[in-house]
A = this chain, B = another copy of it.
Amino acid sequence: MRLHPSSLHDSLQDPVLGSIGFLNEVMSRYPEAISFAPGAPHPDTLDDLDTERYVDRFIDYLVDEGRSPEQARRLLLEYGPSRGIINGIVRDALHRDHGIDAPPNALVVTVGAQEAMLLVLRALFRSAEGVLAVANPCFVGIVGAARLLDIDVVPVDETELGIDLDALEEVCRSSRAKGQPVRALYVAPDFSNPGAARMSLACRQRLLDLADREDFLVIEDNAYGFTAPAGVELPPLKALDTARRVVHIGTFAKVAFPGARVGYVIADQQVGSSSGERLLADELAAVKNMVTVNTSPLCQAVIGGMLLEHGGSLTELSRCKSEIYQRNLTCLVDTLDRYLGEGLHPGIRWNRPRGGFFVRMDLPSPVDAALLEVSAAQYGVLWTPMRQFYLDRTGDNRLRLSCSYLDPQQIEEGVRRLAAFLMEETDPGRTVAVAADPPVAPG
């Protein structure tokens, strides 16, 4: 049987759905290239990772809680509650490390942050009602999930200082005027992927006030909060959320390891008019029954054991990783300065984020798959075209550099190749020279 593409769901025509596959395909064809493309974990964060020990640690915990060793081991092999089995440990860590004070039943453990996004969007959006506002540029995962569910997405510009709150207010007004009010906003306030935006404390407060005034929910993605330099951490929106406007999504892919496929969502919004205890998290767990049933308890056990071995603290768990990623980011920006700064390449500029995995670079000419192919084949260096992150044409001349899984020598060599590529293959004379954006204030 042959299926016509037009007979399949519309989302499959959207380049967002193919973007991850496209990058993997290019990388597989150029295994020798230095790749600034993926936001993959640094290999050093995986080398000593003993999953068996962590499982045993979690089983000990279950035994301490009153189960027999046999019951504890079986718990990891059977079906389990849709909402998860490590909820208390995760909830306590979020309270201790981030000041998020949610009841235990407000948390659902998910198959990575991606499933959490899908569950939240599905529960919150009725068919053809309301729109999702997203930071522009935006993580492809949330836009892709919205496409799967036929949810309309409206972009709101984001700079290094975070989402443009005036523009957001205007979007709220115009959307309501069209009869499709903003139901929710997706935002990553700490070093967003790919924009590297970071919202100040004042901006966070203003966003929450706006959410209350304009009656929308904030879907907060906290994937990169742990990469903040020590001493300049800011509280996540959820910790400031007295009105329960924030649904908080996190992942263990970066602070632990991606192969566990474990994330979580806190959704403490009350559902229904009674004084009952039903929370949005209960609805998410019901939706999850029809998506993945439950998150592998074996994987949850590894993550639970890792957290317990680090004193139940996300900060302790992620400390070494944060240092590696800080080192790499500093190295990347410094090396870009050395090879491309000082007006050597007028018209090429980049940002200088204080955290996260990503640097954004503006070129004087369009950045597309064909240019990536040239960069890979002739210069041995890979990166990500940024147009897939934008809902408009703003990103057409931009590329994203990820430094997470490289070592300083590889970053240096990669930037050397990148500089050669940019020198030969782009036309820096066409726009006014600006060597680099000014540094962003730490909030």
Chain B residues within an 8 Å CB radius of A77: 41, 46, 49, 51, 257-259
A82 within 8 A of B: yes
Chain B residues within an 8 Å CB radius of A18: 286
Query: Can you list, as one digit per residue, whether each of A293-328 has a CB less than 8 Å from chain B (1) or not (0)?
Result: 111111100100000000000000000000000000
> How many Å lie between the Cα of A400 and that of B296 in the bound state?
27
Mark A residues whose CB is within 8 Å of B: 1-5, 7-12, 16-18, 20-21, 24, 38, 40-41, 43, 46-47, 49, 51-52, 55, 70, 74, 76-82, 111-112, 114-115, 118, 122-127, 141, 144-145, 147-150, 217, 243-245, 253, 257-261, 269-273, 280, 283, 285-287, 289-299, 302
Task: Known contacts A41-B78, A46-B78; decide if A217 and B1 are in contact (CB<8 Å).
Answer: yes
Query: Can you list 30 contacts pairing A with B, beta carbon distance less than 8 Å?
Result: A1-B244, A1-B245, A2-B270, A2-B271, A4-B271, A5-B271, A7-B126, A8-B271, A8-B283, A10-B127, A11-B122, A16-B290, A17-B287, A17-B289, A43-B74, A51-B76, A52-B52, A76-B259, A77-B258, A78-B258, A79-B253, A79-B259, A111-B111, A112-B293, A118-B290, A141-B289, A259-B297, A261-B293, A261-B294, A298-B298
Task: Known contacts A298-B299, A299-B299; decide if A292 and B82 are in contact (CB<8 Å).
Answer: no
> How many Å lie between the Cα of A294 and that of B262 in the bound state?
11
> How many Å lie between the Cα of A49 and that of B115 in the bound state?
28
Q: How many copies does the complex hold?
A: 2
Chain B residues within an 8 Å CB radius of A123: 8-9, 12
Chain B residues within an 8 Å CB radius of A260: 296, 298
From B125, B283, B298, A259 is in contact (CB under 8 Å) with B298
Task: Evaluate contact between B298 and A51: CB separation under 8 angstroms.
Answer: yes
Which residue of chain B lies nearest to A20 when distances are taken between CB atoms in the complex? Answer: B289
> How many Å lie between the Cα of A273 and that of B4 in the bound state?
7
Chain B residues within an 8 Å CB radius of A70: 47
Task: Evaluate contact between A118 and B296: CB separation under 8 angstroms.
Answer: no
Task: Evaluate contact between A82 and B243: CB separation under 8 angstroms.
Answer: no
Which residue of chain B lies nearest to A79 when distances are taken between CB atoms in the complex? Answer: B258
Task: Evaluate contact between A3 and B261: CB separation under 8 angstroms.
Answer: no
Chain B residues within an 8 Å CB radius of A9: 122-127, 287
Chain B residues within an 8 Å CB radius of A302: 298
> How many Å lie between the Cα of A270 and that of B244 in the bound state?
47
Task: Evaluate contact between A2 and B269: CB separation under 8 angstroms.
Answer: yes
Chain B nearest Cβ from A332, distance in angstroms: 21
Chain B nearest Cβ from A275, distance in angstroms: 10
Which residue of chain B lies nearest to A267 when distances are taken between CB atoms in the complex? Answer: B3
> How many Å lie between the Cα of A144 and that of B285 in the bound state?
13
Chain B residues within an 8 Å CB radius of A124: 8-9
> How many Å lie between the Cα of A298 and that of B80 in the bound state?
18
> How many Å lie between the Cα of A289 and that of B243 in the bound state?
33
From B78, B257, B258, B271, A3 is in contact (CB under 8 Å) with B271
Which residue of chain B lies nearest to A243 when distances are taken between CB atoms in the complex? Answer: B1
> How many Å lie between the Cα of A116 and that of B92 in the bound state?
33
Chain B nearest Cβ from A340, distance in angstroms: 29
From B41, B46, B49, B287, A11 is in contact (CB under 8 Å) with B287
Task: Known contacts A293-B261, A296-B261; decide if A287 and B12 are in contact (CB<8 Å).
Answer: yes
Task: Known contacts A8-B283, A81-B24, A259-B298; decide if A291 and B148 are in contact (CB<8 Å).
Answer: yes
Chain B residues within an 8 Å CB radius of A112: 292-293
> How many Å lie between the Cα of A287 and that of B287 in the bound state?
17
Chain B nearest Cβ from A267, distance in angstroms: 10
> How many Å lie between the Cα of A4 and that of B259 in the bound state?
37
